[in-house]
Structure 1
Amino acid sequence: MMTSEAQTTWREAGRHWPLAAVISLAGLVLLALLLGIGVGLVDPSADVFAGRNHANIWLGSSLLLSGDAMELFRGQEIYSSHVLSVFGLEAGWQYWSYLPHALPIFAPFSLLPYLPSALVFLLSTLALYGHAVSLQDRDFPAFSAILLLPFLLANILAADSGFLTAALMLYGLGLRGSHPVLAGIAIGVLTIKPQLGLLLPILLIFEGNWRTFLAALAIALVMVALSLAIVGINGWIGYATFNAPYQIYLMNNLGGFFPNLVPSVFGSMRSLGFPADVARLIHLPVALAAIAAFIWSLMRLEAPLARSRSLLYATFLISPYTQSHDLGALAALAALAVRPEPSLPGGLAVLRVVFSALATFVPLVTLLLGLKGMPLAPLVLVFAYGVTLATDRIVESRATRPEPQMN
């Protein structure tokens, strides 16, 4: 006979079958491409992912393993020459934006040819993302799972690190109560994209979660030490001298499709043709309001999931530079908010479902709307954040309200 513990495990697994099905669907597409290469049906030199962001991960790993990692931190002209020599004109415009301590994470991915490497990277980080999402709540309803598809498709099309960074964020948020050290390890690795973790130290300090905070700090320092062994202090000086200023230059000057990938107010204003100075002025009050809303949520919300959701909305409204395929963690927690909340009044319940669902489409439609002259992503995030904060507060207050006593 099956023990009660085993029965509980099977019941818990059963609650996640819609999530497993959606993640598996995306994985099967990637696996089919990979198997197609193995049996000769797909040309491994094909440009399926030409011009996509995995080119940077693959090339950075190649330069690292060949002993030329410092070429990443000598300026855009030098890096572009490597891109052209390896990929040709098909790669389009690429630049190295990662901090030096990301190199140990990406090191293995040039051991395969480019296209198989992109597929293996996406498959492995997709699996991490699916597992990290499963930790956020005891179940994941079918409709919520389906709402992950826009993000899954957006990151596969970009061939970027969005699955990885979203998984790290969700591990950090979802494990901070039960496994604080593991949560800290994930947050420490997430420092390869520091703009995604802007508010995490505030959350951990407010909650008094020093084990997670210190574990994150220790892992980040270990990764920095590894990077110093690889590129020395000159790598970090090169990043500060060339890479970081070039990213600021891009934000301020680059046109075309690039600003349409940025779901912040700043990115939307740039996509509409506003100068960078004006875009920053319009972005600033929204960012300040998001900071205030996040601090309010720490003081008024108790549920870890509600605080996590608040942190993610605020992060993408505060940071002027994130890209639409960075929104995987927010997509997961917004999808969970689509579940019916019987304690909410009818109108608010509908608003919560509608705006949460709209937020899950932001990763996919940001570029499309921007190219049409309608960069609505920050507007959706602002309204979704406001509705989510209000309804999370109502749900919690009604859950803690004492039941009326009968005389």
Structure 2
Amino acid sequence: MRDHSTVCTSRRLSGPPRWIDAGRIRVYAALVLVVNVLLFALHIWFGCVLRAPNNSPPGWDFAVFWSASWLALHGPAVNVFDTALIERIALPLQNILPSSFITPWTYPPTFLLVVLPAALLPFTVSYLFYFVAGVAFALHVCARILMPMRRGSWWLPVAAFPASWVVAHAGQNSFITFGLLGLGLIHLNKRPWLAGVLFGLLAIKPQLGVLIPVALVFGRSWRAFASAALTVGMFCGLAGLVLGFDTFAGFAQALPAFNHFVVQQSDHWPHGISTVFGAARHFGMALPAAYGLHAVVAVLATCVVAWLWAARASFELRAAALVLATLLAPTYLMPYDLLLLGLPILWLVRDGARNGWIRGDGVVMVGAWLAPLSFYTPPQWAASAYVPPFTFVLLLVVVRRYLARRTERAIECTSLAVAAESSDLC
């Protein structure tokens, strides 16, 4: 009969699965990169050159940011929450005809402060500036995460990650949020005050920061917690002074209306809502049941974060769990928010290179890496609603890796104790 240590060790691999070695990674990533580039080129052709109706050019969501900037620069900043005013500017830039799907501004004044200079430049130039700056920030974070490894095999999968091309097409702020969350976690141990500042700047998109306090409290990172709270307060104060504190009242009034709109349309949202709530609604679940299922998953994810951070799991596993739980907690996320999936994938790659792999990890990671391609399916499929299971299973991979390592440490300690006892008897 095999002992427990043999069973446990047999679950581990000495290296990554054969079907995702460095050579195959480059080939697979190159193929996906070609698909991404072709699709992006089609958006440019139909949206910019042919101007085919309802074919949005790159930067279709940045058009809302640019329009909000123009309104804030040419009148009371609170005007950005007037959907009629913002659509009058944004829809022509988006090449979209008016429809029942509104184009509102539902971001906090903190983010309006960040994009305030956007309309000082022509729309295309402004989009390119924010896009290049965001990509550079995100790539810097990827390089920092992969620094302990040989990075030559990984630049192609990073460039080909489908979510990054979804963000590029939308012109969204996901490169910024990716960089703030990733760099904040990188600096957490050695520069907690700087980490707190980076976490606090996530006030540009508050739903992505709701679980950071949980991690910091259970991880006993008090300096980072204090720094983050101070940064949020100062950031909000600066936004109020520059834009007017009435913008916070406008934001508070806009949220319920937008939430109602999302709920009303949640069962047939174009491309799907990338949350458990959105998936439940897509598959016909009644509203109370969809909220209930989402709450159960969100609570479980929050408990995993609290547990791993309190138990002082390895940094890679704690960081991956926090980001994955961040994607499972909100009821509303769009496909461009799935760029954050890149962070746990990178940290799991680093953890696997250092500690070995467990069978099945590679399949889940590749599935999560490919998941944002769902955005390119026909809108009627609402395929992005299929993404949350990948996120949840990837969180289970993190938990399994932690439990396996804890078991191995316990076996090693037992073996050492037995050896010491035998030595004493001799």
TM category, shorter = 0.7 to 0.9
What 5-or-longer segments of structure 2 have no aligned partner?
1-25
In structure 1, C-alpha distance between the alignment counterparts of 2:130 and 2:362, rounded to whole Å: 33
Q: 1:200 maps to which residue?
A: 212
Query: Contact conserved, 2:86 with 2:104, CA < 8 A, in 1?
Result: yes
The 8 Å contact of residues 302 and 325 in structure 2, kept in 1 or not, is answered as yes
Q: Which amino acid aligns with 2:90?
A: V
Give the aligned length.
Answer: 370
Indicate yes or no: 2:145 matched with 1:133: no
CA–CA distance in structure 2, aligned partners of residues 364 and 193 of structure 1? 23
**Identity %, equivalent residues:** 24
- CA–CA distance in 1 between the matches of 2:80 and 2:354? 54
Q: Does 1:387 align with 2:397?
A: yes
Does the 8 A contact of 1:297 with 1:307 survive in 2?
yes
Please state if 1:320 is matched with 2:328. Answer: no
Partner residue, 2:84: 77
DSSP-derived class of the 1:322 partner: coil
**Deviation string, structure 1 residues 75-96 (Cα, Å, up to 9, x no partner):** 4334334435776745874211
Task: Provide the secondary structure at the position in 2 that maps to 1:177.
Answer: coil
Partner of 1:160: 172
Q: Which residue of 2 aligns with 1:117?
A: 126
Q: 1:244 to 1:100 in 2, by over 3 A?
A: same
Equivalent AA in structure 1 for residue 244 of structure 2? G
Deviations 1:18-67 (A, max 9, x none): 9xx99xx99xx8xxx9xx9xxxxx88x99863672101211122222223
Alpha-carbon separation, structure 1, partners of 2:381 and 2:152: 32
**Map of 2:21 onto structure 1:** none
Structure 2 residue aligned with 1:310: 321
Shift in CA distance, 142/324, structure 1 to aligned 2, threshold 3 Å: farther
- 1:12-161 equivalent positions in 2, closer than 5 A: 49=57, 52-73=60-81, 75-84=82-91, 89=96, 93-137=102-146, 138-139=148-149, 141-142=151-152, 144-148=154-158, 149-161=161-173
Structure 1 CA distance for aligned equivalents of residues 241 and 231 of structure 2: 15
Alpha-carbon RMSD across the aligned residues, in angstroms, is 3.4
Q: Distance in 2 between matches of 1:342 and 1:116?
A: 43
**Per-residue CA shift, 1:125-180, capped at 9, x if unaligned?**
11001112222342364554443321221211221111011111111111111222
Q: Deviations 1:307-336 (Å, cap 9, x if unpaired)? A: 110111112112111222123233132134
- Counterparts of 1:342 and 1:165, CA distance in 2: 27
Contact (CA 8 Å) 2:134, 2:175: kept in 1 or not?
yes
Q: For residue 72 of structure 1, report the CA deviation from its aligned partner.
A: 1.3
Q: 2:359 corresponds to which residue?
A: 350
Q: Pick one of 255, 279, 282 that aligns with 1:271.
A: 282
Query: Is contact 2:270–2:380 with CA below 8 Å preserved after alignment?
Result: no
Q: Which runs of 5+ in 1 are unaligned?
A: 1-17, 37-41
Take 1:314 and 1:325, find their aligned partners in 2: how far apart are those partners?
17
- Contact 1:263–1:322 under 8 Å retained in 2: yes
Q: Is the 8 A contact 1:144 1:338 kept in 2?
A: no
| Kept after mapping to 1: 8 A contact 2:187/2:194 | yes
TM-score (ref. length: structure 1)? 0.79
Note if contact 1:335-1:360 (Cα within 8 Å) is conserved in structure 2: no
CA displacement at 1:112 relative to structure 2:
1.6
- Closer, same or farther: CA 170–82 of 1 in aligned 2, 3 Å: same
Distance 1:331 1:86, change over 3 A: closer
Residues in 2 aligned to 1:53 and 1:68: alpha-carbon distance in whole angstroms: 22
| Residue 224 (structure 2) aligned to one of 187, 209, 212 | 212
Verify the 8 A CA contact 1:317 1:381 in the aligned structure 2: yes
User: Match for residue 8 of structure 1?
Assistant: none
Rounded to whole Å, the distance in 1 between the matches of 2:269 and 2:259 is 13
Q: Are residues 100 and 143 of structure 1, via their aligned partners in 2, closer, same or farther at CA, if it must alter by over 3 Å?
A: same
Q: Radius of gyration: which is bigger?
A: 2
Q: Secondary structure at the match of 2:359?
A: helix
Q: Shift of the alpha carbon at 1:104?
A: 1.8
Give me the whole-angstrom Cα distance separating, in 1, the residues matched to 2:380 and 2:125.
31
- Residue 260 of structure 1 aligns to a residue in which SS? coil
Q: Which residue of 2 aligns with 1:183?
A: 195
Counterpart-to-counterpart distance in 1, 2:98 and 2:150? 38
